[in-house]
Amino acid sequence: MASPLSAATLFNVQGMVAVITGGGSGIGLTMTKTLVLNGARRVYIIGRRESILRSAAESIDPNVVIPIQGDVTKIEDLEEISATITQQEGSINLLIANAGIMGPRPLKTFSSEALSEKEKAQQYASHALATPMEDFTNTYHVNGSAVYYTAMAFLPLLVAGNENTATTGSTSQIITTSSIAGFSRLPGASFAYNSSKAAVTHMSKMLASALVGFRIQIQFLASPFHRMFSLDNLAISYPHATTERVSVPWLFIYAGAVPLGILIAWALLVRPGAHKAHVTLLGWGISMVLTMFITDVIKNAVGRPRPDLIARCKPKPGTPAHTLVTWEVCTETNHHVLHDGWRSFPSGHSSFAFSGLGYLALFIAGQCHVYRPRADLARVLLAMAPLLGAALIAISRCEDYRHDVWDVSVGSLLGMGVAHYTYRRYYPALRNRACASPFANPADERGGVWGKVKGDEENGAGDFELSDFDEEDGGEGVGARR
């Protein structure tokens, strides 16, 4: 029997009955497909446009996907849908409150940059006041209030679903679709949308506390931010290259496997001691993981379009070219290809390459004492070789039109910065005489008790000086700790 903590159990949807509001298009459609492909017994999709729902059901599996027309902002519709599903199923295991709208948007550009500050303020305010307040509050109604009433309408069905946990392997769940926009203060986005998604996030936390007594799990998805764009923007009109110069698998080989292999080979051949080998590999691993985490967080928060976004998007015919539009105008059916188009900043290839190869360059520089007076050029070139490889990987992202120079530059600086931070956690500065030796284990220095790591001055090690040019020091450098 599989462990309850295994991925197969934690994410098992076999035999589940699910309800998805807004399940006929966008993220909801992707959720519907995913549930069906992974063994859900029945998926009810709810929305206002019956034709969209029926088309979605027929394209997936009409025997599993059941479309029901209804308006989630109307209590009577929710009660009627709940009664219908109660009659047909008796219970459900999963409710996904996904329906949402963008809402009115603030003024993006002024009629003239020559306007005074007062004239710009008047134009900005006039644009906002020309939008009926009902349009603004309707965004709250769909994105916020409807989530609460949907959860209440299906609560009895979810509680009934807890009676068959032996079949599904988990208790009933509610998943709400929030957005990372709910955490964003960018003024160019929709005030109504961003604030409504912030409300959904907090409401989900409140529901988790309120429904814990019913054994209902609550989760919310903070989908990545997608900036608005216009079709006449030449900066995002480059072709989409299906073949990359450095694909993701090759990136992991060049920037991950190669540095790791070199460090392991060094540890096996040189036999530097358990502590030195341990901290060297640990520093490299932290550099890689930390860089990937920071890069992903920034990518999802910024949501900057890639240079090839329009080619990925495949906008609907008739989409106006001179106005700002959202990702909803796109017809690309491959979810990854489409939404990856808003992950331009910073370049992940660049940050990953410099975090792995940059760390290797710092390590080689320290072991070769490149800052030592009269150090031969070969040592410097050896230390620079990994940086050249990382730079070539970063440059390839501009050649593939995946990123512009700013994305690549910031990604490279991010990766190198993290690599330097993690390297310096365990090794002295490269100008230090003892740069080839890691800091001592604090537990060893204090008799098995962890404490403050001694600084360079406390250890009696200083920077290289012009008089330090002894070439017969056994490779550890003048003044190195023994």
Catalytic site residue 120?
A: no
* 275-279 CB contacts, 8 Å cutoff, 24+ apart: 275/438, 275/440, 275/441, 275/444, 276/437, 276/438, 279/426, 279/427, 279/438, 279/439
94: enclosing H helix or E strand: strand 94-97
For residue 76, count other CB atoms closer than 10 A to its CB.
9
Residues forming beta bridges with residue 220, ordered by sequence position: 176
Asked whether 47 and 69 are in contact (CB, 8 A), the reply is yes
Q: Kindly name the residue from 197, 223, 254, 426 that is annotated as catalytic.
A: 197
Contacts 24+ apart (CB under 8 A), 135-140: 135/103, 135/104, 135/192, 136/103, 136/104, 136/191, 136/192, 138/101, 138/103, 139/101, 139/102, 139/103, 139/104, 139/190, 139/192, 139/193, 139/196, 140/192, 140/195, 140/196, 140/199
β-pair partners for 337:
none
* Amino acid at residue number 279: V
Dihedral (CA of 344, 346, 347, 348) sign: negative
Which DSSP letter does residue 95 get? E
Number of alpha carbons in the 13 Å side-chain half-sphere of residue 348: 23
- The residues with which 409 forms a beta bridge, in sequence order, are none
Packing angle of the helix pair 348-368, 377-399 (nearest 10 deg): 180
Q: Is 427 a catalytic residue?
A: no
- Say if CB 19 and CB 154 are below 8 A apart: yes
Residues 418 and 410: beta-carbon distance below 8 Å: no
Question: What six digits make up the tokens of 115?
Answer: 């306007």
Active site residue 193: yes
* Cα 92 from Cα 78, distance rounded (Å): 15
For residue 388, what are the contacts with CB-CB under 8 A and spacing of at least 6? none
Task: Give the single-character DSSP code of 325.
Answer: B
Which of 193, 359, 423, 427 is flagged as catalytic?
193
CA distance 273 to 435: 16
Per annotation, catalytic residue among 178, 179, 350, 351: 178
Distance of alpha carbon 252 from alpha carbon 284, whole angstroms: 14
| DSSP three-state, residue 293 | helix
Known catalytic residues? 178, 193, 197
